[in-house]
Chains A and B, each alone.
Chain A
């Protein structure tokens, strides 16, 4: 049977390229999913792990994300929901940047009107997408930051 790497070398899709890049590294890309919705946590975690070979952790609100990073955990990418109890995504992003967190932060919102996007970008996130977070949006992030160190 062909090895995964051989198959990836022959494939053109960006997912394959991402997997190929990851296979050649000693460590996987790591991601944190921050969302108060159990459905979204489950879908995003499964998508990142299955389609992109990304190691994903989940937390339920912005405060948990801040506490986790403060405890010394590092993530290459943080997928941050906007509306959450205790601490929302915009506040959490500000805290993380103030702490010196260098992760790629991707804001996720239910609003298409641009207000949330402005807030997210102003607070230090790299991207902001409207829900749902799908394969194409994750690919876009990975392609734009293909050179980030992991």
Chain B
């Protein structure tokens, strides 16, 4: 039987997940990721998500750098970055980030620089929100594991 602390943390985790689903931040793909986590790889989700954070920040930097160029015209390159962002976002269940990528890609296909700038700001905002909430989720998960007496390697 888990200790009371672990039970409460489990409830906190489920509440936060339910909130993120209700807001459309995450979708069922995130639950599928959680199903792939077991005692042989207890940190599978956070490992995947940490790679996602690392790659996403690179993509966001590249997108901003492209848009800030004085003679900007490389919409094709932006589209390639966005496809990658969309693919990884949908694969971890980051629904709202993915949806912003779809709108952003539409703006690149219309060579709409103002639309691209607006979409980039929205994308950065959604990404930051997602990152903060997932960090919060992983912190609760870590605390719950400790309260339950499970020793998992700490993720940075």
Contact = CB atoms under 8 A, between A and B. Distances in A.
Nearest to B79: A83
Interface residues of A, number: 20
Contact of A110 (B32, B47, B86): B86
B143 interface: no
Contacts of B38: 50
Interface string B60-91: 00000000000000000000100110111011
Contact of A42 (B29, B51, B87, B93): B51
Interface in A124-143: 131-135
> How large, as a class, is the contact surface on chain B?
20 to 34
B91 A40 contact: yes
B57 interface: no
B78 to A, nearest CB: 13
A37 B44 contact: no
Classify the secondary structure of B's interface with A. helix
Most buried by A among B35, B41, B88: B88
Given A42-B51, A110-B86, A132 B29 contact: yes
Interface string A36-48: 1111101100110
Given A38-B51, A39-B52, A42-B51, A134 B32 contact: yes
Interface of B: 29, 32-33, 35-36, 38, 41, 44, 47-48, 51-52, 55, 80, 83-84, 86-88, 90-93
Interface of A: 35-40, 42-43, 46-47, 50-51, 81, 83, 110, 131-135
